[in-house]
C-alpha cells in the first residue's frame, strides 16, 4: 500500500518538474513578451501545483500528517498566478511593448481605438 502511494507521489513530482522545465524552455525560446507570459504563467503553475500535490501525498502517507497548508498553497497558486499573468500582460500592452513582427492579428488595438473614438465623440 505504501509503495503504491510512494509511486503516485513520485510520479506527480516528476511530472511537475518536467512541466516546470518545459515552461522555462518556453520562456527562453518564444519570440515576444505575450507568448513568453503564456508559457510561464500556465505551465509553471500546473507544474508547481503537481509538485505540491505529490508533497502532500508523501507527507500524508509517510508521516500520517495531514498538512492543510499545502492544500491552501495549491488553491492560492491556482487562483493568483493567472491573475498575475493577466495583469502583467495588460501592463505590457498599455505601456507599448510591441507584438512579434510576424504576428498577423491584433484585435485589442482596434478595440482600444474604437473606445477612444467613442470617448472623443462623447466629450465633443
Nearest to another protein of 3, 121 (CB atom): 3
Nearest to another protein of 98, 114 (CB atom): 98
Residues in the chain: 124
Q: How many CB atoms lie within 10 A of CB 57?
A: 19
Interface with another protein (CB under 8 A): 6, 10, 13-14, 16-18, 20-21, 23-25, 27-28, 33, 36-37, 40-41, 44-45, 47-48, 51-52, 55, 58-59, 63, 65, 67, 69-70, 72-73, 76-77, 80-81, 83-85, 87-92, 94-95, 97
Concatenating the DSSP letter of every residue in 59-96 gives HHHHS----HHHHHHHHHHHHHHHHHHHHHHHHHHHTT
Amino acid at each position: 500500500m505504501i509503495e503504491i502511494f510512494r509511486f503516485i507521489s513520485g510520479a506527480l513530482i516528476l511530472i511537475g518538474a518536467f512541466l516546470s522545465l518545459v515552461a522555462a524552455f518556453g520562456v527562453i525560446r518564444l519570440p515576444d513578451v505575450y507568448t513568453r507570459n503564456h508559457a510561464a504563467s500556465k505551465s509553471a503553475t500546473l507544474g508547481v501545483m503537481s509538485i505540491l500535490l505529490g508533497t502532500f501525498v508523501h507527507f500524508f502517507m509517510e508521516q500520517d500528517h495531514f498538512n492543510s497548508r499545502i492544500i491552501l498553497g495549491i488553491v492560492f497558486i491556482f487562483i493568483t498566478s493567472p491573475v498575475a499573468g493577466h495583469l502583467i500582460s495588460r501592463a505590457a500592452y498599455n505601456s507599448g511593448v510591441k507584438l512579434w513582427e510576424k504576428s498577423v492579428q491584433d484585435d485589442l488595438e482596434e478595440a482600444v481605438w474604437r473606445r477612444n473614438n467613442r470617448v472623443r465623440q462623447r466629450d465633443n
